[in-house]
A and B are shown apart, each in its own frame.
Chain A
């Protein structure tokens, strides 16, 4: 089967950088996405990366893709308390989500 795996928890201090990691098995993934979910809410698309790219930067967000290792990461610069949420990586070639990484930002 196909899997998308993430670490479950990450705790950082406000102002630090956060790095959330994801590994996937579906090598045919064309696009890989990062979604944010706040308590009681749906999923908000944060950013995406096309499979032929290594890096994409979007304001405070940087996505790195290592296709050889099937590893995706999301870096949030200058993390704020409002960034506290669950972050999911997803591949939509086969509709798979990771189990989510809960980011806790301490003041």
Chain B
């Protein structure tokens, strides 16, 4: 059983650019959520996708958008990057049908630096 994999592991972008981060869910998981973790902070919920539809969103502007594909992998897109977008971006997958007691399985994250 593979876990959650994210790519790339590190990324440097210039302010104003656009970025796409990718996530492959754990096998059997149909729900994926994305988090932003700034240095020294806890993860902040960006949004969640369930069966290719967004079904929850945190307090992030529309320039943060996402997609989930039929194989349940996912992308996070951020437009018009700002310096404050520099953070570790974490993807987590789960299958609510198996019960929420198992929580979410997290990937190792993508470290985004905006300069």
Question: What bracket does the count of chain A residues touching chain B fall in?
Answer: 20 to 34
B103 touches A100 (CB 8 A): no
Nearest CB of B to A14, in Å: 25
Q: How far is the CA of A35 from the CA of B105 in the complex (A)?
A: 10
Q: How far is the CA of A99 from the CA of B92 in the complex (A)?
A: 18
Q: Mark B17-41, 1 if CB is under 8 A from A, else 0.
A: 0000000000000000101000001
A96 touches B103 (CB 8 A): no
A100 touches B42 (CB 8 A): yes
Q: Other than the known A42-B90, A95-B45, what 10 A-B pairs have Cβ atoms closer than 8 Å? A: A31-B103, A35-B106, A41-B108, A41-B109, A42-B4, A43-B90, A43-B106, A45-B105, A92-B100, A97-B43
Point out the residues of chain B lying under 8 angstroms from A97, CB to CB: 35, 42-44
A95 touches B56 (CB 8 A): yes
Q: How far is the CA of A100 from the CA of B92 in the complex (A)?
A: 18
Q: How far is the CA of A33 from the CA of B92 in the complex (A)?
A: 14
Q: How far is the CA of A14 from the CA of B19 in the complex (A)?
A: 43
B41 touches A95 (CB 8 A): no
Verify if A27 is at the interface (C-beta below 8 Å from B): no
B101 touches A88 (CB 8 A): no
- Provide a sorted-by-A list of 21 A–B residue pairs whose CB atoms are within 8 angstroms: A30-B100, A31-B100, A31-B101, A35-B103, A42-B109, A43-B43, A43-B106, A45-B102, A45-B103, A45-B104, A45-B106, A48-B101, A48-B102, A88-B43, A90-B103, A92-B104, A95-B45, A95-B48, A95-B56, A97-B44, A100-B42
Point out the residues of chain B lying under 8 angstroms from A90, CB to CB: 103
Q: How far is the CA of A88 from the CA of B40 in the complex (A)?
A: 12
Point out the residues of chain B lying under 8 angstroms from A98, CB to CB: 42
Verify if A17 is at the interface (C-beta below 8 Å from B): no
